[in-house]
Structure 1
Amino acid sequence: MAEDRARTQTRVRWELLRNLIRKDLKVKYQGSALGFLWSLANPLLLLVVYTFVFQLVLRSGIPAFGFYLLSGLLVWNAFAGAVGAATGAVVGNAGLVKKVRFPLVVLPLTPVGFTAVHFLLQLLVLVVVMLATGYTHLLSPHLLLAVPALGVAMLFTVALCFLVSALNVRYRDTQHIVEIALMAGFWINPIVYSVALVREHLHGGWLYDLYYLNPMAGVVTAMQSALYGQNPTLPGGQGALADPGYLFYLERLGIGGLISGALLLLGMRVYARLSADFAEEL
């Protein structure tokens, strides 16, 4: 009896989550002539602009820089988009929160599903463009690193979404702190530059290991290895990627996964504790 009730509640929550994600997608592109094509055009535009700026103008020294950039940028944008939207997931749905027996757990998960749809579409566009232009490095065995990398990214994203969505109800400054943190995170993570610069300035010691306690650093560098696939030598003599092998990335992703898992437990606990007062706070 109890198992049937739990199963029914889980099914209802998943159905509600799908409906909320579907609603957000419709609202975003409502009245737009191109609809979902806008989400597909975004990575193409970024590819052209960043290739021109960093490869032709600034001479980054990384061949096929556009592919290198998007390998890490797409997953970062998905992460940042979900966490940024999650700060308002509860506050922006006060009407739903005040309804009796509404499953509040789905609110911070909605932006995760929304950005995941966009990420998969944009990733598909990137892969198609790579293959169409004859970029064969994509087909290396390193592509398998994308699986654990995306797993850690999802875990870390969900953890932070639970945490910030709950904290922002009681402490409204949370959304502003998150905005600044995400802006700083874009530059802290090796997205528009090679991680070789970080390794060089930190001398590859314990500070470099400390740098990888940030789960997204492991995710971004692993995705670069998975999608970009090659490790060209930069003018300074170092490789563009964090490491030419697999073990380095798996170790960093393992650490990132443990940190993300612990943060998820914390986030869910904070969310469960604060959610009892959501209706009053709003």
Structure 2
Amino acid sequence: MSGYRSFVALGDSFTEGLNDPGTDGTFRGWADRVAERLAELDPEFRYANLAVRGKLIDQIVEHQVPRAVGMRPDLVSFCAGGNDLLRPGSDPDRMAKKLAGAVRDLRASGAEVLLFTGVDPRDTPIMRRARGTFAIFYMHVRSISELYGCRLVDQWSMQGLRDWRAWSDDRLHMNEEGHRMVAAKVCEVLGIGSDGDWRKAWPPRDRVDPRLKRREDMQWVREHLGPWVVRRLRGRSSGDDLDPKRPDLTTLRGV
């Protein structure tokens, strides 16, 4: 027995599971993987995943946190802020205040709370320009975690996630291997053990022709970055009109 009989996952595309394909047309992701491990330890374990891609921290706090509080689970994961930090003029201090209030409410409901820092963006051509803003927010996350007695998953220190082989073609979402690594780290933080290891040592890669790299970068701009910018300019999100994939606490039997 793990001590966790119910788990509610909150957040955006990272927690929804993009781009880790599931077996039923939805995405699996690190949260589903952790829930499956918890279900192995307790057949009566129940799981809900309220995360929806593209959501900002204010939207998650407004819509997902109250639902989680009402469910009164043993464990709640909360990972948000990445979509906010990618926007010009984002304020990590204001975001941290919003996060702190949500964590306070979740902890008051009796739930144990799992928080996350993000991956160090220094190897990402566009996001590395905002590395200082990311770092400030994640320092706040560390402080909030300590203040409210939360468990913390530090992705910033996971060197294996800095390799592009842990990411999908859009360079914004982890692939199956990236989600597997995060799930292994979460299991370690929760003290539940798993068959996986998050300390990934990738084999050396062949040197990439700079001309090929430039063509790949231009293709990424056309297929991924451009559409993302257009959605933001139009005030749209990839998660508009989407519902959570697991809106209620249910067992994983038959999944």
Smaller-chain TM-score bracket:
under 0.3
Higher-Rg structure is 1
In proportion to residue count, which structure has more helix?
1
When the two structures are superposed, what TM-score results if normalisation uses the length of structure 2? Answer: 0.24
